[in-house]
Amino acid sequence: MKSKKALASGVWMFRSTFITILLAVSAVQSRAQSYPITQGSASLLVTVSGANAGISAWTINGVNQLVQQWYYFSVDGGTVHSIDTLGLVSSSETTSGNNTTVNATYANSMIQVQVDSTLMPGNGGGQSILSTDFTLYNPDLVQQHTYSFYQFSDFDLGGVPGNQSEHWTTLGTPRVTQTGSSGQSVVGTFGAVSGGSGDAEFVQAGLYNGMQFGITNGAPIAPTLNNTLTAGPGNVDFAYQANGTLGPNATGLSFVETETVTVPEPSTTALIFSAALVLQVFAGRRLASFKKVVKKASL
């Protein structure tokens, strides 16, 4: 049998180790970690921790299309939190061919979230694709938990915050399309949530009012999106919700989301017209100069 002194020493070592882990997690959370990634004519900023955590600055051909996109969760219908409020377990950036991926894992005692975001070139220089894989785990060894997971997105296509419209299609795979006033578009496709019991999906479109459909840090009750399918024209935003229940120590509740942003590139006809206009201006200047020379010669 262990002596009281040895037992007390073991308890002290456990507490010291636990405090050290908490301090390490706190330090990681307080330090912003950002990954500026680029593929082709597109770039994206993924900030996995810190005060400005989220995805932003999705720039294509020099114009930012995205104000902010980020992810939130609620456990057992309780308070809503952004995933960066969990402990950031790890994050990394990898490149394979034309694809660049930011991997981030967050966890506490009741939920673990794995987010893998991949930036890919699209069809031509005016298109960019972001594909994100989500996996939720229940690390609780005793109890099952019901999870609500949210994505909120605020796109300002063409760098303009207004005069845009969006609509959801929910037959089959949920799909949202937002269009700008000058031909820009973002199409988001959300794969079916699977792996848990009672899996369900909800969507919502609306005009931006700063409330994010109730999906905000510290909201006391997890909202259920109301499947409003259209919004605009105006400063629009949209959100997606995935629900499911996982048993103790369960792996699952996964889905994939893909967003494709397209901006118009100058058409061949427009380029030809511009070139013709330049030649016309140049020819006009040459003709005016020639007339001046003739006039001077006749004097």
- What six digits make up the tokens of 225? 């999106």
Q: What is the rounded distance in angstroms from the CA atom of residue 157 to the CA atom of residue 261?
A: 9
pTM above 0.85, yes or no: no
On whether the CB atoms of residues 83 and 105 are closer than 8 A, the answer is: no
Instruction: Tell me how crowded residue 144 is: count the other CB atoms within 10 A of its CB.
Output: 15
- For every residue of 194-234, which 3-state class applies, written as one string? ECCEEEEEEEEEEECCCCHHHCCCCCCCCCCCCCCCEEEEE
d(CA 155, CA 165): 11
Q: What is the pLDDT along the chain (299 residues), one digit of tens a residue?
A: 445 444 344 434 434 443 344 444 444 444 679 999 999 899 999 999 998 999 999 999 999 999 999 999 999 999 999 999 999 999 999 999 999 999 999 999 999 999 999 999 999 889 999 999 999 999 999 999 999 999 999 999 999 999 999 999 998 899 999 999 999 999 999 999 999 999 999 999 999 999 999 999 999 999 999 999 999 999 999 999 999 999 999 988 999 999 999 999 765 334 333 433 434 544 444 445 544 544 555 55
